[in-house]
């Protein structure tokens, strides 16, 4: 359950779907067809440290290019213009007569300085812009849990042999810090060993590429033609090997409007369904489809805690899946469970092992799951916003202690119940810990300065968050006050709070 006070207000306008374009570049390498992936900078707002294809959002320059360049025609003309411009910026590449060529460094520098210069340089003949060999292989809309939604057009070009393609250059641009050429199989093997973080749509496209290459005996042109015909959209959202997410629409607190249900475990063996929060037919169908599509065997439903935006309709879940329910003792006191999970026990799910962590704070029976893939975090952290600590059942002291515990465990990734995957766990957890500690101190300082009522203290403690909902700000302030009271720093006298 995420909270508004420390999060970002996310209205309907900010959820407008924005167009973007991405380019899969392949070449004939020593071990077969190779793909080019780049590692995104840690400073990038989306998928930092992830390996991905080059690309970006469509701009006014790209729309203008469609009007002024005769070679840009058809439904995907603006997407092709965007990708032509992006590969100049990010790689120093251009497309010419179905091949990848190097761009003059001076022309590229002008584009890096101002994207509008790309169109100028193309018109002057300094940068090639030839659409020969570019194919539309997929379209994907980003999942609904992200703060920004993109309709991404995936394009492909086969650049030729390893000798023909120039060296990619990352000089001057800020999006990528490294590039590598490898086969789809090699990238997927490294991803399965948790050596690389690869963006979910890229994972499924690499899987598709691997299948089509096998089907056409390694012929990339025939494979690209097949991918163009298939036009496979989003299916599984694979956050990591053995971690598939199914976002289910729920009545949770904004800025979130979905709860992430997870299929956790061996992709070809035993797995569990975590927090299947569906209460409506659409959500149940989404979960059932994901379970049916999975190659393994569903052994249980597992709940991180019993809040309504995580439990879903228990009777419908039992009817749909007919598997036991696993949960903590505290959750089992509210729903019927067949297995009680305890702190630090291990769950063997096929070839994968996941450890149960009891992490009270948001709820006394809250649990997380830790594996090589990362941390299934429930409501310990959120991909957008921050976490509500309910004063009636939460405990701010325990929550801060558990945040420190998770920092010490150094998870590979964090899979939250609300919002997108968290690719830099230590950075996010430290932010949460420091942010909460600072708010904790502000509440105490407000009391020390003579503010006595809950409304007064909340107003002072949250004065740096003017968009915070007053009632939620007071709710969180009360959680901080109760913690200070337990630690003997303040006392409550009727409806007033005073220093001890």
Taking residues 177-205, report their average pLDDT: 96
Q: What residues does 153 pair with on adjacent strands?
A: 21, 139
Give the model's pLDDT for residue 7.
Answer: 35
pLDDT above 70 covers what percent of the chain? 95
Give the model's pLDDT for residue 1.
Answer: 45
Give the model's pLDDT for residue 258.
Answer: 85
Fold classification of 440-499 is Arc Repressor Mutant, subunit A (1.10.10)
H or E element: which one contains 415?
A: strand 414-416
* pLDDT for 34 beyond 70: yes
CA 233, CA 215: separation in Å to the nearest integer? Answer: 20
Give the model's pLDDT for residue 8.
Answer: 31
Taking residues 125-148, report their average pLDDT: 88
* pLDDT for 116 beyond 90: yes
* pLDDT for 192 beyond 80: yes
What are the pLDDT digits (tens) for 491-500?
999 889 999 9
Taking residues 114-133, report their average pLDDT: 95
What are the pLDDT digits (tens) for 432-480?
999 999 999 999 999 999 999 999 999 999 998 888 888 889 999 999 9
Residue ranges of domains in the chain: 12-235, 238-423, 440-499
* Domain 238-423: which CATH number of 3.60.15.10, 3.50.50.60, 3.40.30.10, 3.90.1150.10: 3.60.15.10
Q: What is the phi/psi pair of residue 187, to 5°?
A: -60, -45
Give the model's pLDDT for residue 11.
Answer: 32
- Taking each helix axis from N to C terminus, what angle separates 396-409 and 425-448, rounded to the nearest 10 degrees? 150
Give the model's pLDDT for residue 442.
Answer: 95
Q: What is the phi/psi pair of residue 371, to 5°?
A: -140, -175
Average pLDDT of the residues of the chain: 91
Give the model's pLDDT for residue 5.
Answer: 37
Q: Which of 418, 424, 435 is nearest to 381 (CA)?
A: 418
Q: 199 CB contacts (<8 Å, ≥6 apart)?
A: 47, 50, 51, 52
* pLDDT for 235 beyond 80: no
What are the pLDDT digits (tens) for 74-106?
999 999 999 999 999 999 999 999 999 999 999
- Give the predicted TM-score (pTM) of the model: 0.90
Q: Give the pair of three-digit tokens for residue 339.
A: 């297995």
Segments in 196-328 forming alpha helices (H): 200-215, 220-230, 281-293, 308-311, 314-321
Please name the CATH architecture into which domain 12-235 falls: Alpha-Beta Complex (3.90)
Give the model's pLDDT for residue 14.
Answer: 44
DSSP 13: G
* pLDDT for 43 beyond 70: yes
Task: Kindly indicate the confidence band of residue 254, based on its pLDDT and cuts at 50, 70 and 90.
Answer: low
What are the pLDDT digits (tens) for 59-68?
999 999 999 9
* pLDDT for 231 beyond 80: no
What are the pLDDT digits (tens) for 71-80?
999 999 999 9
């Amino acid at each position: 359950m995420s909270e508004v006070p420390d999060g970002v207000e996310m209205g309907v306008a900010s959820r407008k779907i924005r167009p973007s374009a991405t380019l899969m570049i392949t070449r004939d390498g020593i071990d077969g067809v190779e793909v080019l992936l780049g590692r995104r900078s840690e400073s990038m707002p989306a998928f930092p440290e992830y390996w991905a294809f080059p690309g970006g959002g469509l701009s006014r320059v790209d729309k203008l290019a469609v009007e002024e360049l005769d070679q840009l025609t058809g439904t995907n003309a603006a997407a092709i213009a965007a990708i032509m411009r992006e590969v100049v910026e990010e790689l120093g590449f251009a497309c010419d007569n179905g091949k990848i060529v190097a761009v003059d460094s001076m022309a590229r520098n002008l584009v890096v300085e101002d994207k509008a210069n790309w169109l100028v340089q193309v018109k002057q003949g300094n940068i090639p812009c030839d659409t020969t060999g570019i194919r539309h292989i997929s379209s994907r809309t980003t999942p609904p849990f992200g703060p920004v939604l993109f309709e991404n057009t995936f394009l492909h070009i086969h650049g030729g042999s390893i000798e023909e393609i120039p060296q990619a250059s990352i000089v001057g641009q800020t999006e990528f810090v490294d590039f590598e050429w490898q086969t789809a199989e090699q990238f997927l093997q490294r991803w399965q060993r948790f050596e690389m973080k690869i963006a979910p749509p890229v994972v499924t496209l690499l899987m598709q590429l691997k299948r089509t290459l096998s089907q056409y005996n390694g012929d990339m042109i025939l494979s690209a033609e097949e991918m163009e015909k298939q036009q496979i959209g989003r299916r599984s959202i694979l956050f990591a090997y053995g971690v598939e997410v199914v976002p289910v629409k729920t009545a949770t607190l904004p800025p979130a409007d979905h709860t992430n249900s997870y299929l956790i475990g061996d992709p070809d063996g035993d797995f569990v369904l975590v927090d299947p929060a569906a209460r409506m037919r659409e959500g149940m169908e989404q979960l059932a489809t994901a379970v049916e599509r999975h190659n393994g065997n569903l052994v249980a439903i597992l709940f991180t805690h019993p809040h309504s935006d995580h439990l879903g309709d228990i009777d419908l879940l039992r009817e749909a899946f007919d598997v036991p329910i696993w949960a903590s003792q505290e959750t089992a006191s509210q729903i019927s469970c067949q297995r009680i999970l305890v702190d630090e026990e291990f769950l063997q799910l096929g070839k994968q092992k996941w450890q149960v962590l009891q992490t009270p704070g948001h709820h006394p029976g809250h649990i997380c799951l830790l594996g090589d893939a990362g941390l299934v975090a429930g409501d310990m952290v959120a991909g957008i916003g921050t976490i509500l600590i309910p004063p009636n059942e939460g405990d701010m002291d325990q929550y801060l202690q558990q945040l420190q515990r998770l920092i010490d465990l150094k998870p590979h990734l964090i899979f939250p119940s609300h919002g997108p995957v968290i690719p830099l766990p230590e950075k996010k957890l430290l932010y949460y810990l420091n942010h909460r500690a600072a708010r904790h101190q502000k509440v105490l300082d407000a009391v020390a300065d003579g503010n006595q009522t809950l409304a007064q203290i909340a107003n002072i403690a949250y004065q740096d968050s003017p968009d915070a909902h007053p009632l939620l700000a007071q709710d969180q302030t009360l959680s901080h006050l109760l913690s200070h009271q337990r630690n003997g720093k303040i006392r409550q006298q009727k409806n007033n709070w005073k220093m001890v």
